[in-house]
Amino acid sequence: MEYGILEKKLIDVLLRRAFYPVVKADGFKRKGEVFHRINDPVVHVVQVRHRSVEQVYQVLMGVHLLLLGDFALDVTGKPIKDPTKLNVYDCAWSHSIIPGFINDTLDDWAYGNTEEEVAGMIEFLISEWPRQSAAFFSPLTRWPDDFHKRAKDAYKGAEKPHWDVLTWARVAALAGDFDLAQALAIKALPFVPEKATTYRKSLEQIALNPHKALPLLTESE
């Protein structure tokens, strides 16, 4: 169980010294290993996740729309009282900073074998941060304009069985575009697997009545 402990400590020190100030300079506030940039109702999240056994870490990014409430594929019906407690896995949309050494999807950043290698990897991370973070966060920054546009873009690909079609239908409804919410549901339904009964039912309800796309958030007792 001791494997990777010293390496993680070194990574943490160098991330705090070099990378975290870069993230904070972009308007994020740190809480532990998680950073938040809040412009109600939009929350941007950055989170460093270590996998010490594999001697890698990931720099995760998330965007959440507080109007969706507590999120788990669909919505739970609970409002978010404290957005500074959001992790990336709580967000409706997520991505990672990709090193790109192996392919354009693997998001593992290696610890390295020496302090020089660790520092070099973090320098490269810092160089990639402006481009990759902007590519993810910028299109999901302004409410409602950015999100409405992305919902319209989602309609073009709604014939593919993407699980986020329901989310975009909800976004469209929240933006006041009930026609788009309904169109998304209708276009996606023929491609939803029969086994996805809950997901299908939600889309069917929106197809019949697009106002059903509005999240109903209630305070828990």
pLDDT in tens, 40-57: 999 999 999 988 778 889
> Strand, helix or coil at 108?
coil
- Cα 102 to chain centroid distance, Å, stands at 23
19 DSSP assignment: I
pLDDT value at position 207? 97
Query: Which residue would you say has higher pLDDT here, 99 or 208?
Result: 208
- Rounded to the nearest integer, the mean pLDDT of the chain is 88
State mean pLDDT over 89-104: 84
pLDDT value at position 97? 95
CB hemisphere CA count around 87 (13 angstroms) = 6
Give the whole-angstrom CA distance, residue 65 versus residue 42: 5
Chain position carrying tokens 């999100």? 147
> What is the band of 22 on the pLDDT scale with cuts at 50, 70, 90?
very high
Query: Which residue would you say has higher pLDDT here, 192 or 136?
Result: 136
Q: pLDDT, tens digit, for every residue of 157-179?
A: 766 756 789 999 999 999 999 99
> What is the band of 3 on the pLDDT scale with cuts at 50, 70, 90?
very low
Alpha helical stretches, state H, the chain: 5-14, 20-25, 115-137, 145-156, 165-174, 178-188, 197-208
Nearest to 206 by CA among 152, 175, 165: 165
Domain ranges of the chain: 5-140, 145-213
Among the ranges given (48-62, 103-117, 131-145, 185-199), the one the predictor scored with the smallest mean pLDDT:
103-117
The set of residues, in sequence order, having a beta carbon less than 8 Å from that of 87 and lying 6+ positions away, is 34, 45, 47, 62
Please check whether residue 99 is in contact with residue 109, taking contact to mean a CB–CB distance below 8 angstroms. Answer: yes
17 DSSP assignment: I
Residue 103 has pLDDT above 60, yes or no: no
Q: pLDDT, tens digit, for every residue of 54-89?
A: 888 999 999 999 999 987 656 667 899 999 999 999
CB hemisphere CA count around 80 (13 angstroms) = 25
Angle 55-34-98 (CA atoms, 0-180°, nearest 5)?
A: 50
